[in-house]
Amino acid sequence: TQLLEQSPQFLSIQEGENLTVYCNSSSVFSSLQWYRQEPGEGPVLLVTVVTGGEVKKLKRLTFQFGDARKDSSLHITAAQPGDTGLYLCAGARSGGSNYKLTFGKGTLLTVNP
Amino acid sequence: GAGVSQSPSNKVTEKGKDVELRCDPISGHTALYWYRQRLGQGLEFLIYFQGNSAPDKSGLPSDRFSAERTGESVSTLTIQRTQQEDSAVYLCAEGASGSRTDTQYFGPGTRLTVL
What is the secondary structure of A14-25 as a DSSP string? ETT--EEEEEE-
Write the residue in B4, B40, B45 that is nearest to A101 by C-beta.
Answer: B45
CA B77, B61, A106, A62 torsion: positive or negative?
Answer: negative
How buried is residue B111: exposed, middle or buried, by Cβ count under 10 Å (0-12/13-18/19+)?
A: middle
Between strands A10-14 and A107-112, the pairing is: parallel
Span A95-104, average pLDDT: 81
* Shortest CA gap B41–chain A (Å): 5
- Please tell me if residue A1 touches chain B, with a CB cutoff of 8 Å: no
Q: Which chain A residue has the Cα nearest residue B47?
A: A100
> Whole-number mean pLDDT of chain A?
93
- Please tell me if residue B46 touches chain A, with a CB cutoff of 8 Å: no
- Please tell me if residue A43 touches chain B, with a CB cutoff of 8 Å: yes
pLDDT for residue B13: 97
Q: Which residues of B touch A50 (CB under 8 A)?
A: 100-101
Q: Which chain B residue has the Cα nearest residue A4?
A: B42
> Whole-number mean pLDDT of chain B?
90
Span B93-112, average pLDDT: 86
Contacts of A7 (CB under 8 A, 6+ apart): A21, A22, A24, A107
Has residue B1 got a pLDDT over 50? Answer: no
